[in-house]
């Protein structure tokens, strides 16, 4: 994904109430910005849940972004996730610009800023 999109990675589980509370904001932000280059990826931690349960929850909550199953926990290890929800906003340059156990208070503004920042960087890069 480096160089193409701003990526929001969120680690979550169906039994995690704070995770489920974030879904409406993630869904709305993805709807608002996906055409401008935002990609949201929900990574389901493989703890006390089933694929069928995840599918049902995703359907019931009308999740509109891709969901990945972290079968062996390798993504959790790679991102050093110890709590969920765990959110990462990653710029087009591949640098993590936000990491936290919840969405930042200024989530929409931060996404907007990253998309503008990355657009400005891409524009200035093309001129040289």
Residue 60 in any domain: the answer is yes
Residue 48 in any domain: the answer is yes
Residue 117 in any domain: the answer is yes
The domain that holds 86 is classified in CATH as: 3.40.30.10
Residue range 29-67, pLDDT digits in tens: 999 999 999 999 999 998 888 889 999 999 999 999 999
What whole-number distance in Å separates Cα of residue 74 and Cα of residue 95?
Answer: 20
Residue 100 in any domain: the answer is yes
Residue 109 in any domain: the answer is yes
- Within 10 angstroms of residue 76's Cβ, the number of other Cβ atoms is 18
Tokens of 86: 């765990």
Residue 1 in any domain: the answer is no
Mean per-residue pLDDT over the chain, rounded? 88
Domain of residue 35, residue span: 6-127
What whole-number distance in Å separates Cα of residue 98 and Cα of residue 95?
Answer: 9
Query: For residue 119, what pLDDT band results from cuts at 50, 70 and 90?
Result: low
How many domains, the chain? 1
Query: For residue 109, what pLDDT band results from cuts at 50, 70 and 90?
Result: very high
Query: For residue 123, what pLDDT band results from cuts at 50, 70 and 90?
Result: very low
What whole-number distance in Å separates Cα of residue 87 and Cα of residue 91?
Answer: 13
Q: Is 65 helix (H, G, I), strand (E, B) or coil?
A: coil
Residue 65 in any domain: the answer is yes
Distance spanning both ends of the chain, measured CA to CA: 23
Residue 85 in any domain: the answer is yes
């Amino acid at each position: 994904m480096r160089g193409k999109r701003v990526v929001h990675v969120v680690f979550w589980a169906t039994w995690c109430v704070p995770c489920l509370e974030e879904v409406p904001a993630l869904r709305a932000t993805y709807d608002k910005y996906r055409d401008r280059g935002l990609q949201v990826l929900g990574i389901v931690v493989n703890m006390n849940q089933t694929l069928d349960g995840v599918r049902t929850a995703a359907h019931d909550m009308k999740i509109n972004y891709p969901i990945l199953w972290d079968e062996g926990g390798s993504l959790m290890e790679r991102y050093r996730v110890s709590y969920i929800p765990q959110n990462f906003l990653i710029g087009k340059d591949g640098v993590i610009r936000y990491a936290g156990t919840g969405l930042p208070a200024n989530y929409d503004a931060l996404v907007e800023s990253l998309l503008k920042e990355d657009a400005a960087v891409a524009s200035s890069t093309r001129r040289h």
